Structures are given as C-alpha cells and as structure tokens.
C-alpha cells in the first residue's frame, strides 16, 4: 500500500537513537528488556489486559527464524508491505506463524519496529493481532505474529480473482464490528488511550473464520491526557485514509482514527479502494467520489459493491452507509465515538444474521441506538423512495 507520508526512513541502529525524533515517539524504550518484561507504560482499563498478563513477546535468534521459514524461501512468502516481506513459518513448537522481515532500504524503520514490539507487548485484545516475538540481531529486525490464515481484508475486497468468493454482507458487517471493537479497546480501555493512526483494510487481518484483528502498530501513538484535546505530531499514515484536519495541521485526536474507520467502512460497502489510480479522474479517491452520494439517501444504493449482487439486508445496508457518513464528517467533533459505533454495528450484525438477502428487516433500530434519524418502514429498496429523513447526515 502506498504511503504518502514517510515516517522518517532513518535506519536507527540503537534504541537510544530514538531520542532523535522526540515528537513522534509514542513510548520510550528505556524500560524495554530483551524479553519484553519491562514496566508497563499502558495499563488496561478493561478486563482483557489483566487476563493476558503472561502473553509477552519473546526474543528469537535469526537462526531460529531462518529455520522456521526454510531460509526465507519465496514459496513461504505471503505478502509484502512498506516494512518488508512477510513469510509463513513453522516454529519448533509446531506453531504456524507469520514472520515480517524489516526491509533495510524501506521507508519504515527501526523506530516502527520498537514501537510495534512495545505496543503489542502491552496491548492485548481478541481483535488485535498477537505478537509472539521478535528478533533484533545485528542489522536484522523481524517480527513474529500469529498466522492469520485468510490474510488481509484488502485481499478479499479488491481485485477478486475469478473463482474467488467475494465477502458476503453479513461477513463484512462482522469484520466491521471486530475492527471497531479493536479500536474501542485502544481508545477506551488502554490507559492512556492509543491512537492507532494506520487503520486501513490492509491492516485488518482475518483468521480462517474471517474473524478480524488489527495489525501494524508501528505508527501508534499515545493519545492526549488530562485537558489536552490533541497531540501534535509529524503527519504519517496512508494516503486516502488520513483525516483532513490531521493532514492539514498535524493535530492528532482519537477522531482521526474514526475518519480512517469510516474509509474502511466505505471500502466494505463499495468494494472500492481508498485510492485507486486505475479508475477514471473523479473516481480515484473513494471519499471524494462518494461524498455527493453520501449526502443524498436516494443515492445510497449506488454505493453498493456490485460483487454483492444486491444480496444484502437493505435496512442494514442503509444504516451502515449512515454510520459511514458520520465517521467521514469533515468536522472531527461531529464524528461519533467508537463506543457508539460498536453498539450501532453490533445491532446491524444481529439484523444481518436474521436474513442476509435483499429487503427484509423486521424491526427498526431502537431510537437510543440509531446511528441516524432513520426513517422506519423502508423494508425494501426502491430507488425512488423518499429517504428524506437521512438528509441530516
Ligand atoms: N500475521 C499475518 N498472518 C498472515 N498474513 C500476514 C500477516 N501479517 C501480514 N500478512 C500478509 O502480508 C501482507 C503485507 O503486510 P504488511 O503489514 O507488511 O503490509 P501492508 O500493511 O499491506 O502495507 P504497509 O506496511 O506498507 O502499510 C498482508 O497484506 C498480508 O497478506
Ligand atoms: Mg500491514
């Protein structure tokens, strides 16, 4: 995935060199030990962290990881990103893992490596990928994760191969719920809160049951504490997913992540990439293309991914679009909190489970959980139908 803002690209040899970039370092490394058993800088506000205290990343030798990947053979290669290449590996214990090898010529460097290790040593939730260990040996930097059999969400939404089954609507909603729960943990349960900064479909990994987990915490940053409303930082992230106010001012808030989440929802709804340079002018930036459609509920259906072939729960679809529009509000203050998004999406998931075919919805959203002033009674879609009550979005 194209990164428009580099995170520095420095190849830092030692942990102590981190002080070079004080402004952009989420956590200090002084208390990190080889086995990640240092004093915890983040204390979970939820039950997840206390229940997973023993779940610490361990240190691997380069030799162990070479053996696990059969010397990093191409046949074990499962993907490649800005950080480097990702290999499938088999540990001595029999466990299957994904091993990410830092590319020394890449833009992303040692800083992200250490932030990733520290963050994932301290943060634990079923919707965050599990870091099993790491290797820091000479110039080599590797990360060892639980293996996510279905790869990234990106691989299931775009450029579907002939014969590949597109994701159905209820699976898309389940993925949205899981990703939102992961974000809720970062925003509401981690203490201090963590701003993820790199939410995108490439970083939502899926297990064999399409259960989603957020990955790549190398850009994550501790959120504002006390009376502060934002943290100021160099702008990093992925083009197409960054909130406009963050790009303009460098002021980072939890609402920056909400905007990125809105872009992911839009990808789930449309099956289009956040940025797709192969499309004609005017359609290359997904948010720009969708803005006029998001403003007019009679156009919502034009957002639907053709791969869904109209097989979705209509009310659930409309509500999902409404939630998306709220997340993508230009004004950060008007974007919803992640806790409210989780409630609304869970409700949609329960509706999608009832029936995932076109046009049947048995009950409207309860007013207290409604993501928008939705008009009730629109059980089946009609292009000409009056959806005037959506106009407040
Ligand atoms: N834990 C994992 N299990 C299985 N496959 C993985 C795992 N982590 C990454 N991958 C695969 O490797 C690919 C590359 O992932 P990576 O995180 O390195 O790059 P990216 O997120 O696509 O891009 P970038 O790092 O530039 O933002 C993913 O799309 C996925 O297919
Ligand atoms: Mg990634």
Tell me the domains of the chain and their CATH numbers.
Answer: 15-146 (3.30.200.20), 151-385 (1.10.510.10)
Please identify, by atom number, the ligand 1 atom nearest to the C-alpha of residue 198.
27
Write down the H helix ranges in the chain: 47-51, 62-68, 110-122, 154-157, 169-184, 244-249, 254-270, 286-295, 314-327, 338-354
Q: Which listed residue (14, 92, 198, 227) is catalytic?
A: 198
Ligand with the closest atom to the CA of 120: 1
DSSP-derived letter for residue 374 is P
What length does the chain have? 393
The pair of three-digit structure tokens given for residue 144, joined into one six-digit string: 């060892």
Distance 57 CA to ligand 1 centre (A): 19
Cα 193 from Cα 45, distance rounded (Å): 10
**Protein residue with least CA distance to atom 16, ligand 1:** 81
DSSP-derived letter for residue 232 is E
Cα 90 from Cα 69, distance rounded (Å): 7
DSSP-derived letter for residue 388 is G
pLDDT band at 85 (very low <50, low <70, confident <90, very high): very high
pLDDT, tens digit, 9 for 90 and up, residues 300-330:
999 999 999 999 989 999 999 999 999 999 9
Angle at 258 between CA 311 and CA 233, to 5 degrees: 145
Closest to 92 in 3D by CA, of 140, 133, 152, 34? 133
Ligand 1 test: best mutation among 6, 78, 111, 154, most atoms within 8 Å of CB? 78
Query: How would DSSP label each residue in 130-155?
Result: PEEEEEEETTEEEEEEE--TT-BTHH
Quote the mean pLDDT of the chain: 79
CB neighbour list of residue 169: distance below 8 Å, 6 or more residues apart = 308, 311, 312, 313, 316, 317, 352, 356
Q: Please compute the mean of the pLDDT values over residues 236-244 and round it to a whole number.
A: 86
Q: Please compute the mean of the pLDDT values over residues 45-63 and round it to a whole number.
A: 66
Pocket of ligand 1 (CB under 6 A): 1, 3, 78-83, 86, 98, 100, 129, 145, 147-148, 151-152, 155, 202-203, 205, 215-216, 238
198 is catalytic: yes
Please identify, by atom number, the ligand 1 atom nearest to the C-alpha of residue 2.
26
Please identify, by atom number, the ligand 1 atom nearest to the C-alpha of residue 146.
1
pLDDT, tens digit, 9 for 90 and up, residues 207-219:
999 999 999 998 8
């Amino acid at each position: 995935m194209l990164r428009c803002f580099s995170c520095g690209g420095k190849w830092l040899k030692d942990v102590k060199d981190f002080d070079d970039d004080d402004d952009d370092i989420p956590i200090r490394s002084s208390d990190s030990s080889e086995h990640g058993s240092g004093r915890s800088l983040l204390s979970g506000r939820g039950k997840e962290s206390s229940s997973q205290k023993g779940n610490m990343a361990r240190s691997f030798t380069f030799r162990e990881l070479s053996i696990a990947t059969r010397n990093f053979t191409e046949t074990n290669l499962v993907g490649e990103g800005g950080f480097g290449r990702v290999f499938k590996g088999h540990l001595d214990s029999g466990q299957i893992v994904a091993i990410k090898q830092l590319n020394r010529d890449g833009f992303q460097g040692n800083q992200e490596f250490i932030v990733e290790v520290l963050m994932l040593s301290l943060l634990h939730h079923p919707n965050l990928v599990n870091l099993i260990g790491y290797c820091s040996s000479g110039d080599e930097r590797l990360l060892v994760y639980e293996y996510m059999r279905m790869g990234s969400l990106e691989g299931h939404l775009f450029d579907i191969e002939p014969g590949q089954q597109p994701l159905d609507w209820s699976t898309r909603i389940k993925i949205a719920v899981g990703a939102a729960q992961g974000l809720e943990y970062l925003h509401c349960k981690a203490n201090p809160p963590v701003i993820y900064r790199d939410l995108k479909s490439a970083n939502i990994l899926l297990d064999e049951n399409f259960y989603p987990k957020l990955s790549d915490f190398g850009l994550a940053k501790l959120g504002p504490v006390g009376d502060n409303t934002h943290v100021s930082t160099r702008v990093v992230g992925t083009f197409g997913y960054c909130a406009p106010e963050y790009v303009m001012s460098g002021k980072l808030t939890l609402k920056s992540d909400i905007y990125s989440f809105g872009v992911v929802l839009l990808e789930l709804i449309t099956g289009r990439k956040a940025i797709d340079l192969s499309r004609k002018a005017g359609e290359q930036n997904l948010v720009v293309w969708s803005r006029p459609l998001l403003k007019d509920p009679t156009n919502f259906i034009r957002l639907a991914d053709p791969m869904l072939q109209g097989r979705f729960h209509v009310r659930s679809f409309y509500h999902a679009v409404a939630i998306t529009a709220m997340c993508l509000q230009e004004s950060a203050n008007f974007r919803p909190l992640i806790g409210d998004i989780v409630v609304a999406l869970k409700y949609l998931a329960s509706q999608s489970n009832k029936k995932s075919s076109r046009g049947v919805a048995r009950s409207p959203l309860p007013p207290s959980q409604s993501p928008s002033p939705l008009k009730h009674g629109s059980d089946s879609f009609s292009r000409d139908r009056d959806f005037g009550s959506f106009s407040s979005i």
